[in-house]
Amino acid sequence: MLYHDNTLAQLCFIRERLLAKEITTWSRTEYMLAGALAGIMHGGWRRDGTSQYLSISMPNTFSMSPSYVQKFIQEKGLQKLDQDVFERLRDKLARLYLDEVGGIAGTTHHSDAANLLSGNTLAPSSIDLVVTSPPYLQVVNYAQSNWIRLWLLGINEVGRDGGAGRRSLDAVLDHRHTYTSYCEFMLRTTLGIQRTLKRDGVAVLVIGDVKEPGKEDALPLAQKMWDDIKSKTSMRLIDVVEDDLPAHSKVSRIWGETKGQATNRDCALVLTHSDGDPDLSRTEVDWDEPWKDAGPDAAHERLRAVRMQTEESS
């Protein structure tokens, strides 16, 4: 119901090729392709009826439930675009490579973050910066809300309450916390950050306020959680950055009146070691990206130049 027959056939071809190997054994190229493809699996069309996404016109953030999407298609009379997956994927990669592609290669870990930070994989005092947005109590089921992308990665029946994929992910994901268990989870994570962060490193924890059912005032989750766990750590709070988002910019707007505990305010807790002295002198950020609005032709041209330079150097 989401894709034109031709588009779906191409998606299934790529999916089959990717899943011929265990995801943990993929090459860097395969990870890059899968990540880029996941980003265009669904999204809204342009006003002229074209789209950089592969699906019917729908939000590109959360994947609404299959029954909701089916009803939405019928109510809005949505049509399917005959999208060439390979062309849209080339466009996506060209946009990604508009930015500088130099520098050191990154490393991806397929692991629980709290376990990764407290285990032997990462050396103590080896990290300059941690930026993370942990789950907010019981606001979002991250598996259910990504069932289309998870299908691409080989996990089926995630969008349905009784689906096998949904049950298996519910058993392992941290998304059903009470406040007490949430503090325990965040304490484990913060102690892992404390172990791996350099003396003058910085950790930023982005945590949204939540609203308890039946109550008027939202719970300032970030500040309350930090007040309750800080004495058990050797970290100190540098700053609390509050971000009040307009309702139309918040992802939860797509839920309308059913958005439940989600609120429009995020808080970023900025932490360092109790004896840390991070350099906070740079407060201005240059957001200018000269290539951003240059369009796909400029993107492809620059990507070709990067490719030719790489081939010449090799």
* Paired strand residues for 38: none
CB–CB of 57/44 below 8 Å? yes
From CA 35, how far away is CA 297, in angstroms rounded?
22
> Of the ranges 203-212, 262-271, 297-306, which one carries the lowest mean pLDDT score?
297-306
Give the residue with greater pLDDT, 97 vs 32. 32
Q: Tokens 């172990």 map to which residue?
A: 195
Q: Tokens 């949204």 map to which residue?
A: 208
Rounded to the nearest integer, the mean pLDDT of the chain is 82
For residue 274, how many C-alpha atoms fall within 13 Å in the half-sphere facing its CB?
Answer: 8
Instruction: Work out the percent of the chain whose per-residue pLDDT is above 90.
Output: 38
The pLDDT, as a whole number, for residue 245 is 59
Closest CA to 25 of 119, 149, 110: 110
Instruction: Work out the percent of the chain whose per-residue pLDDT is above 70.
Output: 79
**Average pLDDT, integer, range 296-309:** 72
**Average pLDDT, integer, range 282-309:** 68
Closest CA to 79 of 18, 2, 156, 154: 2
The pLDDT, as a whole number, for residue 259 is 45
The pLDDT, as a whole number, for residue 207 is 87
Does 158 have pLDDT greater than 60? Answer: yes
Contacts of 31 (CB under 8 A, 6+ apart): 108
Question: What six digits make up the tokens of 111?
Answer: 């692991």
The pLDDT, as a whole number, for residue 138 is 63
The pLDDT, as a whole number, for residue 255 is 42
Q: For residues 32-59, b (16+ Cβ closer than 10 Å) or e, as one string?
A: ebbebbebbbbbebeeeeebbbbbbbbe
From CA 75, how far away is CA 255, in angstroms rounded?
17
* Paired strand residues for 205: 132, 269
- Tens of pLDDT, residue by residue over 112-132, are 888 899 888 999 999 999 999
Q: Which domains, from first to last, does the chain contain?
A: 5-96 (no CATH), 113-140+175-273 (3.40.50.150)
Q: Map residue 74 onto helix, strand or coil.
A: helix
From CA 167, how far away is CA 180, in angstroms rounded?
24
For residue 127, how many C-alpha atoms fall within 13 Å in the half-sphere facing its CB?
Answer: 21
141-147-152 Cα angle (round to 5): 140
Question: What six digits make up the tokens of 83?
Answer: 């999208």
> Of the ranges 104-108, 221-225, 296-300, which one carries the lowest mean pLDDT score?
296-300
The pLDDT, as a whole number, for residue 201 is 96
